[in-house]
Amino acid sequence: MGAIFEDVEIGQEIPRLVKGPITTAHIVRWSAAMENWHRIHFDWHYATQHDGLPDVLVNGSWKQHVMIQLVTDWAGETGWAWKIAFRFRGMNLPGETLTAWGRVTGKEERGRFGVVDLEIGLRNEQGAEGTPGTARVVLPRRGGPPVPYPFDPAVLAG
Amino acid sequence: MTAEISDAEIEKHLASLIGPVGEPVTALVEFGAVRRMALAIGDLDPIHFDEAAARARGYRGIVAPWPLLWLYFFTCTEYEHDFPFGRATVHGQDEYEFHEPMIVGDRITVTTAITGARLKHGRVGRLGQVVSERRFVNQDGALCAVLKTTLFRR
Amino acid sequence: MLKVRTVEPEERWFEDFHEGQEFPVITRGPMMVGHQVRWAGACDNYESEFHHDEYVARAQGLPGIILSGPLMASYLLTAVTQWLGRHARLVRFFDQNRGPTMPRDMAHLHGRVRRAYEQDGRCLVELECWITNQRGEVTTPGSALAELPRRPGGGR
């Protein structure tokens, strides 16, 4: 089950998702899975000496996927993570533990469903916000049908 | 702590390792995996990328480069062993025996056994030697390859 | 996926090989962490962290990242298939991880025919092969046995 529109309150925080500590094995595995061979993610000499970074970097696309997981987990089987956007503001390094968080900023009834806006982010242990963003989630109403899959925004009209 | 254990105890432990390891595990030979491995080792022979090219060379389909055995080694078999002595385990050598090519779409069953384990005394002290053998058989029962891996413990 | 620019191995026959024949040296490198990461991805294996983590490698008393032995052996095996041409079928391959290959090292792949012979109606080529680094040290000695067809129609 996922969230129900009527239960959602503006200002409410959704369950957090904690990942880490991130190791180079996580980073290398992600690089290989994406077939993204940018050396700042695995070549320590290149990252630190050529690019002047403090260490190899956690992949931005991985961070995005952690936040997508945060939102899809909350939307659950009956909801739909419709839109999600991020900005890369800070870098993250091996050894960090990252907490994905989200807070409800708006809600609106749309036909037989509800649309909820979230502010989302990914903080390290020091509280530094590296990947601020927003998400829009479609949720079922209490006693109503689940959001149909495949999702079609037209269902929000009726 | 490791200094306490006697040669006899080590030999007994090593002898106990001999035999099958785990259950046979089956994996599908995927095109993406074949492509990824061929690119990783720089094998640009078209038989690893293009079905028509592979058939023109007499193969049933896209051919896996033999180093793809390592994907199944790591994902289908237990490859780490506990040793009651020594500090480091080194991957010493490998012996490959090749038979029927592995083709995209094949289902390869991997069976693992420890076939040899003994204690030697080298110049720098005790040296354990463990040989494991993995047999790769396809869906028709044809043997594709045998990979014998020797680990050294010192 | 983007099309890979493939290279068909040369057409060679059993008659093309003789004892003592040296193959052209194939040079790979400088080897970089990226090669190791691609290999780890192809093997879906990230267990030995000294293969991809500079800090872990040094903490374990190594001078730095060490590239995987089976990766280097796989380069050597691939060189063998290139030398022997498109008709060869590998029968056996052997390699030893004798010395480390580290990022920025070169890998020169060498091969030499030990024997070209017929046995039970099969035409076989046995060769020794090895990898040297930029200091000339042999990091990966090996050997291989392959079966080849005779040149159709005979003769050279």
Same domain, yes or no, for A65 and A36?
no
Domain of C131, in residue numbers: 14-31+68-147
Residue from C32, C37, C56 whose CB has the most chain A CBs within 10 Å, to mutate: C37
Write out pLDDT tens, residues C61-75.
999 999 999 999 999
Distance CA A58, CA A99 (A): 14
Q: What is the CATH number of the domain that holds A94?
A: 3.10.129.10
Confidence of residue B80 (pLDDT cuts 50, 70, 90): confident
Distance CA C6, CA C1 (A): 14
- Among chain A, residues having any CB pair with chain C shorter than 8 Å are 23-25, 28-29, 31-33, 35, 37, 39, 42-46, 94
Same domain, yes or no, for A106 and A131?
yes
Domains in chain A: how many in total?
Answer: 2
Distance CA A9, CA B66 (A): 58
Mean pLDDT of C12-21: 98
Nearest-CA residue of chain C relative to A23? C53
Whether residue C62 lies within 8 A of chain A, CB to CB, comes out as no
Q: Is the pLDDT of residue C155 over 70?
A: no
Distance CA A20, CA A42 (A): 17
Whether residue C54 lies within 8 A of chain A, CB to CB, comes out as yes
Mean pLDDT of B6-25: 94
Mean pLDDT of B13-35: 96
- The answer to whether residue C126 sits within a structural domain is yes
Nearest-CA residue of chain A relative to C47? A25
Min Cα separation C92/chain B (Å): 5
Domains and CATH numbers, chain B: 2-153 (3.10.129.10)
- The answer to whether residue C37 sits within a structural domain is no
Distance CA B146, CA C11 (A): 28
Distance CA B60, CA B52 (A): 10
Taking 50 as the pLDDT cut, the residues of chain A under it are none
Q: Is the pLDDT of residue B3 over 60?
A: no
Same domain, yes or no, for A101 and A53?
no
In angstroms and rounded to an integer, the radius of gyration of the C-alpha atoms of chain C is: 18
Same domain, yes or no, for A107 and A139?
yes
Q: Is the pLDDT of residue B81 over 90?
A: no
Domains in chain C: how many in total?
Answer: 1
Nearest CA to C102 out of C69, C70, C73 is that of: C69
User: How are the residues of chain A apportioned to helix, strand and coil, as percentages rounded to the nearest 5?
Assistant: 30, 30, 40
Sign of the CA dihedral running C14, C18, C19, C23: negative
Instruction: Read off φ and ψ for residue B118, nearest 5 degrees.
Output: -150, 165
Same domain, yes or no, for A63 and A98?
yes
What are A63's two structure tokens? 């961070």
pLDDT given for residue B22 in this prediction: 95
Min Cα separation A108/chain C (Å): 41
Q: Is the pLDDT of residue C156 over 60?
A: no
Domain of A34, in residue numbers: 23-57
Write out pLDDT tens, residues B27-65.
999 999 999 999 999 999 999 999 999 999 999 999 999
Distances from the Cα of B138 to the Cα of B28, B79, B102, B121, angstroms: 10, 21, 8, 40
- The answer to whether residue C9 sits within a structural domain is no
Whether residue C137 lies within 8 A of chain A, CB to CB, comes out as no
- The answer to whether residue C57 sits within a structural domain is no
- The answer to whether residue C42 sits within a structural domain is no
Same domain, yes or no, for A52 and A77?
no
Mean pLDDT of C120-132: 98
Its ipTM equals 0.96
Min Cα separation C8/chain A (Å): 25
Whether residue C37 lies within 8 A of chain A, CB to CB, comes out as yes
pLDDT given for residue B123 in this prediction: 83
Confidence of residue C15 (pLDDT cuts 50, 70, 90): very high
Whether residue C46 lies within 8 A of chain A, CB to CB, comes out as yes
Give the three-class secondary structure for A104: strand
- The answer to whether residue C98 sits within a structural domain is yes
Min Cα separation C123/chain B (Å): 16
What are A40's two structure tokens? 């700042």
Residue from C1, C3, C5, C6 whose CB has the most chain B CBs within 10 Å, to mutate: C6
Q: What is the CATH number of the domain that holds C139?
A: 3.10.129.10
In angstroms and rounded to an integer, the radius of gyration of the C-alpha atoms of chain B is: 19
Residues of B in contact with C35 (CB under 8 A): 40
Using the beta-carbon criterion (under 8 Å), do B42 and C45 form an inter-chain contact? no
- The answer to whether residue C46 sits within a structural domain is no
Same domain, yes or no, for A38 and A74?
no
What are B64's two structure tokens? 């896996």
Nearest-CA residue of chain C relative to B39? C38
Same domain, yes or no, for A109 and A84?
yes
Nearest CA to A95 out of A26, A12, A1 is that of: A26
pLDDT given for residue B4 in this prediction: 78
CB A147 within 8 A of CB A79: yes
pLDDT given for residue C84 in this prediction: 98
**Chains sharing 3 or more CB pairs under 8 A with chain B:** C
Same domain, yes or no, for A88 and A138?
yes
Same domain, yes or no, for A89 and A101?
yes
Using the beta-carbon criterion (under 8 Å), do C89 and B98 form an inter-chain contact? yes
Same domain, yes or no, for A106 and A147?
yes
Residues of C in contact with A33 (CB under 8 A): 41
Same domain, yes or no, for A29 and A89?
no
